[in-house]
Amino acid sequence: MMIVDELQILFDIINKLQKLNINYMLTGSMAMNYYAEPRMTRDFDIIIEISSPQKKDFFASFSNEYYLTETAFKEAIKYNSMFNIIHKEKVFKADMIIKKKDEYSIQAFERKQIETINKHFVNIISKEDLIISKIEWAKDSKSAQQKADIINLLNTGYNKEYIVRWLKNKRLLDFANGFIHERYFS
């Protein structure tokens, strides 16, 4: 069954990160599936905080079971961007996102929640920070799927004050009010 394979891969990645003492946070559609109505996902999005000594160990730990290129890995670390790892047997992809160093990213990472998924503890982005992230992505894509995801999350309850503060700070409030509906943020 596909979802079982996906979860096994997710837990394998998390176990490897934990063994390496690499701080992480699950985000994207898998986090969306945790907080709201599940939908199909094609990959995992995992934000990681990796130090210089952990870089070599990370590559060694993942390279046997996952496709990853050293060049993409090094560039992602250098530019605070992302790289992919793909499970060799199941051909399932994880986007590994290097944690940014701006005030919001630091706070969002600190606010991550420890939740249980299939009897495994998982560090997962807070619902409010997932909403903010999806609004950021929606600004670029204007995607109907992002809009549906955001509304789905908003309808499960949220800390409005926190979201509005960061949307104002990131100059996204006007966009959010127009793209979604101002009743959510007014």
**pLDDT the model gives residue 1:** 36
Alpha-carbon span 42 to 51, nearest angstrom: 28
Is the domain of 105 the same as that of 169?
Answer: no
Average pLDDT score over residue span 149-177: 93
Domain termination residue (choose one: 78, 110, 125): 125
Query: What is the pLDDT at residue 16?
Result: 97
Are residues 117 and 136 located together in one domain of the fold? Answer: no
Residues 80 and 170 in one domain: no
Number of domains in the chain: 2
For the segment 74-85, what is each residue's pLDDT rounded down to a tens digit? 999 999 999 999
Q: What is the mean pLDDT of residues 69-74?
A: 92
Average pLDDT for residues 47-72, to the nearest whole number?
Answer: 91
Verify that 108 and 39 share a domain, yes or no: yes
Chosen domain end from 105, 125, 145: 125
pTM for this entry: 0.91
Same domain, 80 and 132: no
141 shares a domain with 109:
no
CA distance 129 to 150: 11
Same domain, 87 and 120: yes
Amino acid type, 71? T
- 14 token code pair: 């998390």
With a cut of 80, say whether residue 104 has pLDDT above it. Answer: yes
For 49, the 3-state DSSP assignment is strand
**Mean pLDDT in the chain?**
90
Of 106, 109, 104, 137, residue with least CA distance to 124: 109
- The model's pLDDT over 4-56, given as tens digits with 9 standing for 90+, comes to 678 899 999 999 999 999 999 999 988 998 898 777 677 899 999 998 888 88
**Same domain? 20 vs 68:** yes
Whether 177 and 109 share a structural domain: no
pLDDT > 70: what percent of the chain?
A: 95
What domain range is 58 assigned to? 2-125
Identify the CATH number of the domain in which residue 110 sits: 3.30.460.10
* Tokens standing for residue 167: 């949307």
91 and 136 together in one domain: no
The candidate with the shortest Cα–Cα distance to 3, out of 41, 46, 31, is: 41
Same domain, 83 and 108: yes
Q: Say whether 44 sits in a helix, a strand or coil.
A: strand
Chosen domain end from 125, 144, 175: 125
Are 121 and 148 part of one and the same domain? no
d(CA 160, CA 163): 5
When pLDDT is cut at 50, 70 and 90, the band that residue 3 belongs to is low
Cα 14 → chain centroid: 13
Quick one: pLDDT at residue 45? 95
